[in-house]
Amino acid sequence: MEQTFALIKPRAFHENLTGPILNLFNTAGFKIGAIKSWWLSDREARQLYGIHQGKPFYEDLLTYMISGPIVVMVLEKDHAVADLRKLVGNTDPQKAEAGTVRKLFGLNARQNAVHASDSPENAEKESALFFAQMEKYEPRGISFGKVHRKEES
């Protein structure tokens, strides 16, 4: 089982697309290992998107990413990184394949609804910005069968 990191961007959060996006993740077989809403600080946005520093779109991306709440999550399944990258599609929604998250919910290359880690190493780094290890779900062979409760008197 592999873990990856995903983020629902401010516009998608604001337009109540979180549920439909999570449904696509669930339908594709991803399990949620950790999830929470967050409002990025400038420092956090710079850490998350530092790989783009110096590129023409960098400052606009940072401004957008701190403009409103987001949802951050750790997702897991076999081949999680590659499968999520395929599911979210091309960064530019106009170039993304039909049925991908960005084609369905993205507005443009910057406001493309979601971020998804591009490697297991980056998934670990990015998830560590938002989640302590103890906040991440780790399967332990728990059975969720019928629960019997003792009646209170």
Confidence at 6, pLDDT banded by 50, 70, 90: very high
pLDDT score for 133: 64
Q: What residues make up the domain containing 54?
A: 2-135
Mean pLDDT value of segment 38-64: 93
pLDDT above 90: residue 148: no
Whether 71 is covered by a domain: the verdict is yes
Kindly state whether residue 67 falls inside one of the protein's structural domains. Answer: yes
Q: Is the confidence at residue 47, as pLDDT, over 70?
A: yes
Distance of CA 2 to the CA centre of its chain: 14
Domain assignment present for 68: yes
CATH of the domain at 14: 3.30.70.141
Positions marked catalytic:
115
Chain mean position to CA 3: 11
Overall number of domains in the chain: 1
pLDDT at 144: 47
Pairwise CA distance, residues 123 & 117, whole Å: 5
Whether 150 maps to a domain, the answer reads no
pLDDT digit string, tens, across residues 112-146: 999 999 999 999 999 999 987 666 566 554 444 55
* Residue 152 located in a structural domain: no
From the list 49, 15, 69, the residue with the least C-alpha distance to 117 is 49
Whether residue 79 lies inside any domain: the answer is: yes
pLDDT tens sequence across 17-27: 999 999 999 99
pLDDT (0 to 100) of residue 125: 93
DSSP string spanning the chain? Answer: -EEEEEEE-HHHHHTT-HHHHHHHHHHTT-EEEEEEEE---HHHHHHHTGGGTTSTTHHHHHHHHTSS-EEEEEEEETTHHHHHHHHH--SSTTTSPTTSHHHHH--SSSS-SEEE-SSHHHHHHHHHHH--GGGS---------PPP-PPP-
For the segment 87-102, the average pLDDT, to the nearest whole number, is 95
Structural domain contains residue 9:
yes
For residue 56, tell me if it sits in a domain: yes
